[in-house]
Copies of this chain bind each other. A is one copy, B any other.
Amino acid sequence: VPGPSIGDPDRRIKGLRCPPAVRDDRALADRVNERLVDWAENEIDLYTGEMRKDLLAFDPGRSVMLCHPDAVTFEHLVAAGMLLVGENAVDDYFCEEDYGGSPEGLGARLAVAQAAIDPAHMPPRYAEQYEQALGDHPALRAMRSAMDHFERIATPAQAQRYRHDVANLYLGYNAEGACVQTGRVPSVWEYLVQRQFNNFRPCLTITDAVGGYELPAQIYALPEVQKATALAGNASTILNDLYSLRKEMATQRLHYNLPIVIADEEGYDIHTAFQKAIDIHNELVDSFEAVAAPLAATDPVLARYLAGLSNWLGGNHEWHSGLVGTRYAVEP
């Protein structure tokens, strides 16, 4: 039985349970995109030619506009957009074969990428060369400049939280790279472990900084808050797998993702596996909501943070389903 949505690029994937987006403001998204393009062209010299066109097609302004409806100022949205562009630049240049990335030697490149947002301390004669190296690579310039902007709107503890989430992201990139390099399709549980690291989480957990408030570090660290955060990140990331698979099936370029590992392990055809992955997405959303509801009742700042995660889920769904049909559409 074919799934109702794969290969049907004009509509949302049916059957996804997800909160609705709470705003949609194309003009605001365009203003953010303009700032990001200006930054890419004039401040950090990121991408050239086709790759710069892809930056607009990716529509980062719309992502942050939708995902951070409570952004306290335009500059806060721009900071979120810069981080998103920077994260994608690292993925493009260091991981993705289309842009010259590769699993070969990846771990060494990602350590330097982390040192673009988490300063290394060494004697001055070597520090100079390290500074030079950060300035010489577009993805490193992007992450470093984005982090500078973020630190203007975030407390040190929020910046540290972001560094942790990106360290985890790179652990996930290394895990995926290792599987690609060894030609091994992970089992479903292992894929879900990897995907909790290789995850939108760094985008979600800036919700308070972008909203102009702070969830205190000691609350953020509570196991139940960590669980809610992980579940929201996992749901939004599996949603990305579903939309990506649909696009990739249209273009015949397959990355491994949840439906593919399910099909591989459980012997389903890809359409059935796609439905199973939708079920997993929905279970993650339900679990997030079940964990978040009692937590939200305990503290108003925590309630706002959890609402921010929920807003992010809704905005992210809208962004993914809307990448087709906007003026920045990836596909015709």
Contacts and interface: CB of A to CB of B under 8 A. Distances in A.
A172 B123 contact: no
B217 A122 contact: no
A22 B280 CA distance: 54
Given A120-B192, A121-B231, A129-B187, A175 B110 contact: yes
A126 to B, nearest CB: 4
Contacts of A194: 108, 111
A234 interface: yes
Contacts of A211: none
A122 B234 contact: yes
Given A164-B160, A174-B107, A192 B114 contact: no
Interface stretch (A64-72, A77-85, A218-226, A299-307): A218-226
Interface in A104-136: 104-112, 114-115, 118-123, 126-127, 129-130, 133
A167 interface: yes
Interface string A177-208: 11101101011111011101100000000000
B171 A287 contact: no
Given A156-B218, A168-B167, A171-B110, A115 B193 contact: yes
Contact of A179 (B108, B121, B157, B184): B108
A227 interface: yes
Interface in A217-274: 217-218, 220-223, 226-227, 230-231, 234
A189 B129 contact: yes
A289 to B, nearest CB: 13
A173 to B, nearest CB: 8
A170 interface: yes
Most chain-B Cβ atoms within 10 A of its Cβ — which of A187, A192, A216? A192
Given A133-B190, A179-B108, A168 B114 contact: yes
Contacts of A110: 171, 174-175
A17 interface: no
Contact of A114 (B155, B157, B179, B197): B197
Nearest to A103: B107
Contacts of A223: 156
Contacts of A159: 221
A163 interface: yes
A283 interface: yes
A178 to B, nearest CB: 3
A81 to B, nearest CB: 24
A283 B159 CA distance: 28
Given A106-B174, A156-B222, A163-B164, 20 more contacts: A107-B176, A108-B178, A108-B184, A111-B171, A111-B172, A111-B174, A111-B193, A119-B227, A121-B227, A123-B284, A130-B190, A133-B189, A156-B223, A157-B217, A160-B217, A160-B221, A160-B226, A167-B168, A171-B171, A216-B218
22 contacts: A104-B178, A105-B179, A108-B179, A108-B182, A108-B184, A108-B186, A110-B174, A115-B196, A120-B196, A120-B230, A121-B227, A122-B192, A122-B196, A126-B192, A130-B190, A156-B218, A156-B223, A159-B221, A163-B164, A174-B174, A216-B217, A216-B218
